[in-house]
């Protein structure tokens, strides 16, 4: 009788441990198939647009690629023609160029000439204006614009917002 109740107790105890173990292993399995938080965030770069100074190019990083961010001065904004306006991102009344910093010819990184307000690619002499539009070959097109979404005063690279979709649909970027 005593033995039986002990067996009953042991059975329940092991059963309980087994159930806890099964739940724990299910939890572990779920964790292993869920993407890690770092992987979830890896595709996105969030930029606080209040951090940039006018006519100063800052190189950010998105999915391992360099991305130029350039805030225009009021004079630069006033000079924009229609084509340049299409490439420009407007956030909270300020105008920005946000382009992948790789020359569309063979992938060199162009440099910004602050005084002339243009980008020069030293590899084969290609040139871009301050909006990233090509002004001298051999680059076949302007600098590419990464997918972006405007969220208040921040820009999320890697998400496709309305403004980016419009640019893509109208052939302003690939
Ligand atoms: S790689 Fe830029 S001009 Fe050739």
Q: Which atom of ligand 1 is nearest to the CA of 110?
A: 2
Whether the full predicted model's pTM is greater than 0.85, yes or no, is no
pLDDT higher than threshold 80 for residue 71: yes
90-130: per-residue pLDDT in tens? Answer: 999 999 999 999 999 999 999 999 999 999 999 999 999 99
Question: Taking the domains of the chain in order of start, what are their residue ranges?
Answer: 2-34, 41-169
CB-based contacts of 71, cutoff 8 Å, min separation 6: 49, 52, 53, 54, 55, 56, 94, 95, 96
Provide the pLDDT confidence category of residue 18 given band limits of 50, 70 and 90.
Answer: low
Provide the pLDDT confidence category of residue 43 given band limits of 50, 70 and 90.
Answer: confident
Q: What per-residue confidence (pLDDT) applies to 160? A: 97
Please tell me the distance between residue 125's alpha carbon and the centre of ligand 1 in angstroms. Answer: 6
Q: Could you give the dihedral angle defined by the CA atoms of residues 28, 29, 30 and 31, in that order, rounded to the nearest 10 degrees?
A: 50
Q: What per-residue confidence (pLDDT) applies to 26? A: 45
Torsion sign, CA atoms 111, 116, 117, 119 = negative
Q: Which atom of ligand 1 is nearest to the CA of 108?
A: 1
Please tell me the distance between residue 133's alpha carbon and the centre of ligand 1 in angstroms. Answer: 14
Q: Kindly indicate whether the domain formed by 41-169 is annotated with CATH number 2.40.40.20.
A: no
Determine if ligand 1 sits within 6 Å of the CB of residue 98: no
């Amino acid at each position: 009788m005593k033995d039986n109740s002990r067996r009953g107790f042991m059975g329940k105890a092991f059963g309980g441990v087994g159930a806890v173990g099964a739940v724990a292993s299910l939890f572990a399995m779920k964790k292993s198939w869920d993407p890690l938080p770092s992987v979830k965030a890896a595709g996105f770069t969030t930029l606080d647009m209040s951090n940039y100074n006018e006519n100063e190019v800052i190189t950010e990083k998105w999915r391992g690629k360099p991305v130029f961010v350039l805030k225009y001065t009021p004079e630069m904004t006033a000079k924009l023609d229609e084509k340049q306006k299409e490439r420009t991102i407007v956030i909270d009344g300020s105008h920005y160029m946000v382009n992948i910093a790789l020359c569309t010819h063979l992938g060199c990184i162009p440099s910004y000439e602050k005084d002339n307000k243009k980008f020069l690619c030293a590899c084969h002499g290609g040139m871009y204006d301050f909006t990233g539009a090509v002004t001298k070959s051999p680059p076949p097109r302007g600098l590419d614009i990464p997918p972006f979404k405007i969220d208040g005063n921040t820009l999320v690279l890697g998400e496709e917002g309305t403004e980016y979709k419009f640019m893509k649909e109208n052939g302003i970027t690939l």
